[in-house]
Amino acid sequence: MMSFKKFYITTPLYYVNASPHIGHSYTNIAADTLARYMRGCLGRDNVWFLTGTDEHGQKIQKAAAEAGLAPQEFADMTVRQFRELWERLNISYNDFIRTSEPRHISIVQKALEILYNKGDIYQGKYEGWYCTPCETFWVESQITGQSCPDCNRPLEKISEKNYFFKLSAYQQWLIRYIQDNPLFIGPKFRRNEVLSFLKLNRLNDLCISRPKERLSWGIPLPFSPDYVTYVWFDALLNYISAVGHFDKDNRYVSKWWPADLHLIGKDILRQHAVYWPIMLKALEIEPPRTVFAHGWWMTGEDKMSKSRGNVISPLEMVDRFGIDVYRYFLLRDVPFGLDGNFSEEAIIKRFNADLANDLGNLVYRTLTMIEKYYAGEIPQRCKASDVEGKSIEAAIERLSGVCAKFLDAAADFNFGASLEAIWKVVNMANKYVEEKKPWNLAKQNKSDELKAFIRLLVEVIRKVAEGISASMPLTAEAIKEQLGSERIKKGKPLFPRIDSR
């Protein structure tokens, strides 16, 4: 388990060329869960949760032109959809950065200037293949035919003067750094992928400029105004531009840096685990503690993405199933780090089994018994005297430690396993009700036993509410509302069963 005094967590900055989909919402829900949990451990003021939007570059310039708008106008319009979605999904970010904001632009220009003056950025000639939609250069040895190895779309042959960042000079340093810091890249298998890539290939220097005549929507290079900055070089710097500044000696100063965790999807690992630490090293800034890449949500065999035309809207899912059900499903159904298949049937299955049958039922039957046997007043705390009760008591004692599992980078932030541990206790409690048959206890006037039994169920539910408060904040609140004080406040069942269509 890592130890923290402050916790700075980030999500990728989403491109504003299209509406957000389930894949985007996944990272923000995971980050939100961690941020909420850490606020509980460290206090609100010691956690900083950053998200935002990536607004420059070809993709956005093109989408804006197609919509007949200026890029900034277009970005202003789509950024709203991201903000609204985060609001709807209860994402408790502290700051939302847009790469078109002056606070970001000035840091990017400062960083470029520092690197240029120090000789880490130089002018050179670029000749080779270029994928416009991905904004990626490819050299002959990386391609077969004339299509992009990433997206399969046709490549263009180009030859132009550009500016380059000396990635290659830092390759050996990076290999050492990754070897010496086992938690820098996660999951472990991704760390191994990056390491073997670095050991087997010579890094090319990174082309960090685009001539204005080809792309005008970007941050101008301070030392060469006919060029704008390559969108990745610009966007990565958000993680420092949002939380600090360079002082007069060009030293970066920040209360929050280094980031404790950059959560990203697996497709942008190279940029975060190779370009980014090298950029920071060149700027004499500490690397982030951990970069963790999660997998993709797929529809059938394909990654869910706009270019594949198979996206599902998170809003639609939330309208149909509810916010916390959606959050629960994404965190619970697939181990963090691996790919998962998204389908409504899978949500319904989880909903009916884990939420309606297990948790919802436990809360509802407990409330009903308190209403029936104690006229709504929750009995006083007392110790369980039977074996099953004692083992449940021990299980809830252990729960906080088990729940914290998802904070552990070494254990791959396993949200699923943490929720599973909570559900084990829920199931123990449901089994206890079925075996104990409280109606018999009532009939036989075993009032002490009945009281201890019901009180234990209340303890379980309160502990469960605490355990899910980071991942399902609204549900935890609803439970607290119903069972949080001396008298119950019975509402509707938390999760009425869904009949599949």
Interacting residues with ligand MSP (CB under 6 A) = 12-15, 23-24, 26-27, 54, 235-236, 238, 264-265, 267-268, 296-297, 303-305
Closest CA to 14 of 248, 198, 235, 242: 235
For residue 44, count CB atoms less than 10 angstroms from its CB and return exposed for 0-12, middle for 13-18, buried for 19 or more. exposed
Beta carbon of residue 462, minimum distance to ligand MSP (angstroms, whole number): 34
Gyration radius from the chain CA atoms: 26
Which residue's CB is nearer to ligand MSP, number 11 or number 475?
Answer: 11
Closest CA to 274 of 178, 209, 187, 186: 178
Which residue's CB is nearer to ligand MSP, number 304 or number 419?
Answer: 304
Beta carbon of residue 461, minimum distance to ligand MSP (angstroms, whole number): 33
Which residue's CB is nearer to ligand MSP, number 230 or number 423?
Answer: 230
Backbone angles phi, psi at 249, to 5 degrees: -95, 15
Which residue's CB is nearer to ligand MSP, number 270 or number 303?
Answer: 303
The CA distance from 458 to 366, in Å, is 7
Max intra-chain CA distance, the chain: 90
Beta carbon of residue 154, minimum distance to ligand MSP (angstroms, whole number): 20
User: What strand order describes the sheet that includes 121-131?
Assistant: 136-138, 121-131, 156-165, 206-207
Nearby residues of 208 by Cβ (< 8 Å), 6 or more positions away:
112, 121, 162, 163, 164, 165, 229, 230, 233
Beta carbon of residue 493, minimum distance to ligand MSP (angstroms, whole number): 32
Beta carbon of residue 405, minimum distance to ligand MSP (angstroms, whole number): 22
Beta carbon of residue 296, minimum distance to ligand MSP (angstroms, whole number): 4
Q: How many residues does the chain have?
A: 501
Instruction: Name the one residue in this structure whose structure tokens are 């190779």.
Output: 274
Beta carbon of residue 262, minimum distance to ligand MSP (angstroms, whole number): 8
* Position of minimal CB gap to ligand MSP: 265
Q: What is the DSSP letter of 404?
A: G
The CA distance from 221 to 236, in Å, is 16
The CA distance from 135 to 280, in Å, is 22
Beta carbon of residue 187, minimum distance to ligand MSP (angstroms, whole number): 14
Which residue's CB is nearer to ligand MSP, number 233 or number 364?
Answer: 233
Which residue's CB is nearer to ligand MSP, number 54 or number 354?
Answer: 54
Which residue's CB is nearer to ligand MSP, number 78 or number 366?
Answer: 78
Which residue's CB is nearer to ligand MSP, number 296 or number 423?
Answer: 296
